[in-house]
Amino acid sequence: METIGAISPAREYTPDVPRALTVSELTRLLRDTVRGNPLLSRVLVRGETSNVQRAPSNLVFFTLKDANAQIGCVLFREEAEALGFDLEDGMDVVASGDVDLFQRKGDVQLVVRALTPAGIGAFWASFQRTRKKLEAEGLLDAARKRPLPRFPRRIGVVTSERGAVLHDILTILRRRDPLADVVVASALVQGPEAAVSLRRALEDVGPRVDVVILARGGGSLEDLWAFNDEGLARSIAACSVPVVSAVGHETDVTIADFVADMRAATPSAAAELVSPNLLEVTSDVQRFRKRIVEAIRDRLREAAESLAAVGERLTPRGLRRDVDANRVRLGAAARSLLQSGRRDLTRQRERLEALGRRLDVLSPLATLGRGYAIVSRPEGSVIPWACELTRGDPILVRLQDGRIHAHVDRTEVA
């Protein structure tokens, strides 16, 4: 039994029939030939990057191409970490590395040892020119973006009718909103004619629906290039209804994403954005209905209880009970007023007594009790100064226990 990869001589030698090589033998000979050629070691290759992919093992795979050819490249972890810049599609770079043959798939690859940017690739430069032009015209402004309808009755889908994208979108729309009509406008999503086909499909379906999904699955920069078309961008901006762009994977960005009213990470996400979940809506309606019914029942119960209470009050027994209750309330109010009046009288009496005591302290009569006298004229005017009197003037002297009528014998001014 032959071991895969081992070169062993045939058991029988027939000069007229050459021995057949195994695939492993052939790929090994090719690999050794490539590796043994000094011209293919440490070569410098300039080209534009495309289809950049990062593996979980930290390997970076990409394609290096020009107008007529392309070659697969691999960048190992250490070299990738030492780049010093983010490798993206559409970059013009110079790669230094060794040409090798990947034996398992028979692919020729460039094992990149060093990579430096040489400029902006043609695709990337065109992308930036288109974006800046549309931005200057205001087509990328957030202010012009329209909100999506909450309950669209007709949903348009512009995509290829052959891809899995359409199937995924339709599956989600039927599950979430089976009442909505879906209008599919088939279009090319890749190749030289794709941009024109997408524009026509969008212009055809826009007037017939409430919202449009513009969708395509993932791919390389070249595969998605139709969605960077300036004419398509203007058709999106001119569409009479909101447009959701769902092109490629979450990391893919196109001009259509900038111009559209909303961008979805994937086509499936776009289907969820434009469609209400009728199961959730139905659940909300049932919950609100239950709350309204309960509120109506509570109000009716309260009204019935209030009406029954009024009826009870109008019966002789109810009237007698109200009269008794009012009599009790009046008695309590009378007692409260009487107690309050007594308290007020007590407070006023105490206040008057305090004022009387203060007046007694300030009264001139109290001064007389301390041995002083008040001298006045017979008509009652008080004489404060001795200089106001002359000999023979009648005076009235008031003491604590009475009055003395006298005449001035003489005056002495201090």
Distance CA 382, CA 406 (A): 15
Which pLDDT score is estimated for 69? 93
- Give CA separation, 411 vs 385, 386, 388, 392, 404, in Å: 10, 6, 9, 10, 18
pLDDT greater at residue 340 or residue 173: 173
The dihedrals phi and psi of 123, each to the nearest 5 degrees, come to -65, -45
pLDDT greater at residue 366 or residue 104: 104
- Residue 9: is its pLDDT beyond 70? no
Listing DSSP states for 199-264 in one string gives HHHHHHHGGGSSEEEEEE----TTTTGGGG-HHHHHHHHH-SS-EEEEESSTT---HHHHHSSEE-
- Residue 282: is its pLDDT beyond 50? yes
Distance CA 118, CA 48 (A): 9
Rounded to 5°, angle at Cα 323 from 318 and 329:
125
pLDDT greater at residue 138 or residue 305: 138
Listing DSSP states for 50-78 in one string gives EEEEE-TTS-EEEEEE-SS-EEEEEE-HH
Which H or E run contains 45?
strand 43-54
Distance CA 160, CA 117 (A): 36
Which pLDDT score is estimated for 385? 84
Mean pLDDT of the chain: 85
- Residue 412: is its pLDDT beyond 70? yes
pLDDT greater at residue 50 or residue 374: 50
**Helix, strand or coil, per DSSP, at residue 160:** coil
Do residues 339 and 333 touch, judged by C-beta distance below 8 A?
Answer: no
Q: Which two tokens stand for residue 123?
A: 């695709």
Within 8 A by CB and 6+ apart from 165, the residues are 159, 215, 216, 217, 267
Q: Which residues, listed in sequence order, are joined to residue 100 by a DSSP beta bridge? A: 109
Distance CA 345, CA 378 (A): 42
Do residues 210 and 40 touch, judged by C-beta distance below 8 A?
Answer: no
297's torsion region: left (phi>0), alpha (psi -120 to 50) or beta? alpha
Taken in order 296, 301, 306, 308, the sign of the CA dihedral is: positive
SS (H, E, C) 76-119: CHHHHHCCCCCCCCCEEEEEEEEEEEECCCCEEEEEEEEEEEEE
* Mean pLDDT value of segment 235-247: 95
Distance CA 189, CA 270 (A): 17
- Helix and strand counts by DSSP (H, E) for the chain: 11, 13
Distance CA 308, CA 313 (A): 9
- Residue 372: is its pLDDT beyond 80? no
Taken in order 320, 326, 331, 332, the sign of the CA dihedral is: positive
Strand positions, DSSP E, 248-339? 262-263
- Residue 229: is its pLDDT beyond 80? yes
- Residue 373: is its pLDDT beyond 60? yes
Within 8 A by CB and 6+ apart from 93, the residues are 46, 47, 48, 49, 64, 87, 115, 116, 117, 118
Residue with tokens 């999106």, as numbered in its chain: 236
pLDDT greater at residue 318 or residue 288: 288
Q: If we measure between CA atoms, which residue out of 148, 209, 155 comes closest to residue 182?
A: 155
Which pLDDT score is estimated for 234? 94
Which pLDDT score is estimated for 277? 80
Domains annotated for the chain, with CATH where assigned, are 23-120 (2.40.50.140), 126-276 (3.40.50.261), 366-407 (no CATH)
Which pLDDT score is estimated for 2? 38
